Amino acid sequence: MNATLANLSRRSLVRWTLAGSISALAGPAFAGADPHAGRGGLTPDQALERLRQGNQAFASDHPLPASQGSERRHQLAAGQTPMAVLVSCSDSRVPPEIVFGRGLGELFTIRVAGNTIDTTALGSIEYAVEHLGVPLVVVMGHERCGAVSAAAEVVERNAHFPGAVGAMLQPIIPAVLAARAAHPEGDVVDQSVRENVRQVVQHLRETASPALLERQASGALRVVGARYDLDDGVVDFFDIGEA
Ligand SMILES: [Zn+2]
């Protein structure tokens, strides 16, 4: 380990220790039997299974009774231990809590058109993982995404989107180019939706930040990719990495 990495690790350890102390004061901590369990008591795999079950119930028109009453609200007022970070699109048809049948305090959501991550989003993810002990990050695109469709128009028809929209689309352009190259005959928008998710997932798995990399290496954190189908309501976890 070189000096820079060693310093980074020491800083991370100090931050982690401080974060643990702060969180212990802020909310309930659960001593899970599994060493990979997050602060809420679930391992990455258990959190993923909860999301799968909630989505199956939602898609079959038997949604889980999401906890959102006053008792739960009062319980959470002292602190939160969400089971997953959801990086998803702002699209009004894709609300994570409803799609996964979750209630108050269960999902830490980051929503932006096209489900990309900038510095603010990455900082939010780091906060959730380091300070709240979240064991799972889901990056979720969706069918017929308007932001991805617009990025495809930029690539295919040289479309121009004025104002901040054009800049917002820029991170999606590499995904469209990669999807076109890999699937020249395919549905460019749908392939780009999946490729965009893959690229964000890869960024979080390989290059994003030391804090995220360390926890993934130890098994305490898992990053997965998914696509939501607008028609049947099913979430396809298509890029789940190593179990
Ligand atoms: Zn969208």
Q: How far is the CA of 188 from the centre of ligand 1 (A)?
A: 15
Give the DSSP per-residue string, 143-203: TT-HHHHHHHHHHHH----TTHHHHHHGGGHHHHHHHHHH-TTS-HHHHHHHHHHHHHHHH
Q: How far is the CA of 111 from the centre of ligand 1 (A)?
A: 10
pLDDT tens digits, residue range 171-184?
999 999 999 999 99
Is the Cα dihedral 6, 209, 215, 204 positive or negative?
negative
Q: How far is the CA of 218 from the centre of ligand 1 (A)?
A: 32
pLDDT tens digits, residue range 188-220?
999 999 999 999 999 999 988 899 999 999 999
Q: How far is the CA of 148 from the centre of ligand 1 (A)?
A: 7
Is the Cα dihedral 130, 132, 136, 137 positive or negative?
negative
Give yes or no for a contact between 135 and 43, defined as CB atoms under 8 angstroms apart: yes
Q: What is the pLDDT along the chain (243 residues), one digit of tens a residue?
A: 344 444 444 444 444 333 433 343 333 444 445 777 888 899 999 999 999 999 999 999 999 988 999 999 999 999 999 999 999 999 999 999 999 999 999 999 999 999 999 999 999 999 999 999 999 999 999 999 999 999 999 999 999 999 999 999 999 999 999 999 999 988 999 999 999 999 999 999 998 889 999 999 999 999 999 999 999 999 999 988 865
Query: Strand, helix or coil at 38?
Result: coil
Distance of alpha carbon 65 from its chain centroid, rounded?
23
Q: How far is the CA of 172 from the centre of ligand 1 (A)?
A: 11
